[in-house]
Amino acid sequence: MNLKRVVVTGLGSLTPIGKTTSQFWESLVNGVSGADLITRFDTSLHRTKFACEIKNYNPDEFFDKKESRRYDLYAQYGIIAADEAIVDSGLDLETTDKDRVGVIWASGVGGIQTFENECLSFAKTGEPRFNPFFTTKMIADICAGHISIKYGFSGPNYATVSACASSANAVVDAFNLIRLGKADVFVAGGSEAPITNCGVGGFNAMHALSTRNDDPQTASRPFDKDRDGFVMSEGAGALILEDYEHAVARGAKIYAEVVGAGLSADAYHMTASHPEGKGAYWAMKSAVEESGMRLEDVVHINAHGTSTPVGDISEPKAIERLFGSHAYNITVNSTKSMTGHLLGAAGAVEAIATVLAVKNDIIPPTINHFTDDPDIVPLDFSFNKPTHRKVSFALSNTFGFGGHNVCIAFKKYE
């Protein structure tokens, strides 16, 4: 069977460092941090009092009152990012065969704010008088449904859930289904709105979050000796993946080509990554092998790089093990140093950053580096300044609690 080629033709993002993809990219290149003190709820009893919130978000700019009441914040973010990506793709919705357009949308947590609000209300009153939209606002698949309903896309439609790897899995599924001829176009990505009492409290209980409350903007410190946990974030990322021939036939602009994907499991621990990066190694190896490229062709890796004590050690080990001496020629970065960790939306947002690095030949920095860690393989982490070089072939790594590992390979379209 001849597999179809797949390209990226549209991008959409809503992040703490930019409400559009152009703003997001400008902030990445300029090393802007999205972290600040939490404004959404009282943090006085929490160990962590900061996060990467969407700044000055007003749903009235995007939805009418009726829609806002029906959508959890995570779904609002997803719809906004998907809208931008669809417009950016230039798809003619009047002539496009919508039976051949699908939506795969991810969220690791789903509507946690809705769940929290409704349960607290029940606990306070003791009366099971739930909002009629409680279930449909809360469930993690509903954003995929909303996007398909809004545009009439009746191709494959579902959600992927694999913790922080969720939206990377959505992109990989879309890639594979297009290659198999199951659809011509996919809206793929993910959204998350976890900055709530339960979200912050739960991750604090696991000792996963940074507690650098005196200096939030430098708290996300991937690969730095003094890193003390990740910075929670929110937002959404959407990619339009398209059959290459379909894209060329309609004269679409093409950002990059998706050429491979690798999936693996650490099979090791509930939350900790394998100490030697076993799953990361196999995911990257599979992605490069499927692409038909050589290991020596990899120029850039957007690392998972969460700023956690264990994870930031294991991923560079996996890179060195796979690439050998070439590992030191690869520019590795962690955009989480700026965006924070968007949990289930991280994979899509970082895939967008990787696609734009390939398109523009600029690799954003890993900011907030102050002290080298002797336990970390000393790769080129693009510390504190962007790297300008031709990015012909790049990987985007995303890993999730439960040992889920995803690597996506992007190639320059020429």
Catalytic residues: 164, 304, 341
Q: Are 231 and 82 in contact (CB under 8 A)?
A: no
| Residue 22 burial (CB count, 10 A) | 14
List beta partners, residue 52.
233
SS3 202: helix
Tokens of 291: 């692409």
Ordered DSSP codes for 224-269: -TT---B-BB-EEEEEEEEEHHHHHHTT----EEEEEEEEEE--S-
List beta partners, residue 233.
52
All residues at 6 or more sequence positions from 323 whose CB lies less than 8 Å from its CB, including other chains: 295, 298, 330
Distances (CA, A) of 182 to 144, 155, 242, 268: 17, 8, 11, 34
CA count, 13 A, side-chain hemisphere, 204: 19
SS3 315: helix
**Torsion angle of alpha carbons 122, 63, 16, 194, nearest 10°?**
20
Q: Are 208 and 220 in contact (CB under 8 A)?
A: no
Q: How far apart are CA 190 and CA 107, in angstroms?
A: 6
**Dihedral sign of CA atoms 142, 74, 402, 305 in order:** positive
Rg value, the chain, Cα? 20
**Dihedral sign of CA atoms 267, 223, 306, 296 in order:** negative
- Residue 77's nearest CA partner among 147, 148, 1 is 147
